[in-house]
Amino acid sequence: MADEKNNDKDEPVIRDKRRVDPETGDVREPSTEGAADDAAPEAEAEDAGAAGEPDELSDDDKALLDQAATDLVAEMRTDMLRAQAELVNFRQRVERDRVANREAVISEVIRSLLPALDDLARAEAHGDLVDGAPMTIVAQKLRSAFEKYGLKSVGVKGEPFDPAFHEAVVQFPTPDVTVNTIADVIEPGYILGDRLVRAAKVAVSVPAE
């Protein structure tokens, strides 16, 4: 008898899950045992999903995240400051270029009017310009207009010769001079700010050998 019971336990259990009884043709009620078996995998899946949820961050991980956020903010701040510095430099370059272009245009206009200024200087040297005369008033207004833009004359008799502003037309060996010195101004030169508009043509006294 014990062997028969053991054989019964080893035999597979077959469940008929058909909704219609093949012998009577009646509709069967749903089996609660099958539903429980079907629900078991779902419960196992929920348990597996719950087991896969991440644990709360450790203190070390939080510290690493805080440090990464701090580094990112510092990097963004550095980029912002660099962009501001580049903008300031760009504006300064634009302003310098604007001033340089303005001076270049004014220099060209003044250079074209220098022959008239030379004629007035020669007339004054010959005594043709007297106080109150119309040409004297015109000369004064013209010179005032040039000075308004910062035009200055260069080349004065007795000052040291400077090739950056003076053009030596003739040279005279002179025993009593130790450096090249302007002996006479043939044609005055002019500068506008730091820009040389025209070099002064001068006669130079040089040390005698």
Higher pLDDT, 113 or 49: 113
Could you report the per-residue pLDDT of 97-135, keeping only the tens digit for each?
Answer: 998 888 888 888 888 888 888 888 888 888 777 777 778
Q: Among 4-8, 121-125, 170-174, which stretch is predicted with the lowest mean pLDDT?
A: 4-8
Q: Which domain holds residue 129?
A: 110-207
Res. 167 pLDDT band, cuts 50 70 90 = very high
The whole-number pLDDT of residue 8 equals 52
For residue 55, tell me if it sits in a domain.
Answer: no
- Indicate the number of domains in the chain: 1
126 vs 52, higher pLDDT:
126
> What is the per-residue pLDDT for 36?
52
Token digits of residue 12: 């597979």
pLDDT value at 2 more than 80: no
Is position 90 within any domain? no
**Is the residue at 2 inside a domain?**
no
Could you tell me if residue 141 is inside a domain? yes
157: domain CATH number? Answer: 2.30.22.10
Residue 74 lies in a domain: no
- Spatial CA neighbour of 197 closest among 108, 118, 116, 100: 108
Least Cα distance to 207 among 181, 175, 182, 171 occurs for 175
Instruction: Tell me: pLDDT of 35 over 90.
Output: no
Q: Examine residue 140 and state whether it is found in any structural domain, yes or no.
A: yes
Residue 167 lies in a domain: yes
CA atoms of 173 and 162, how far apart (whole Å): 17
> Is 143 within the bounds of a domain?
yes
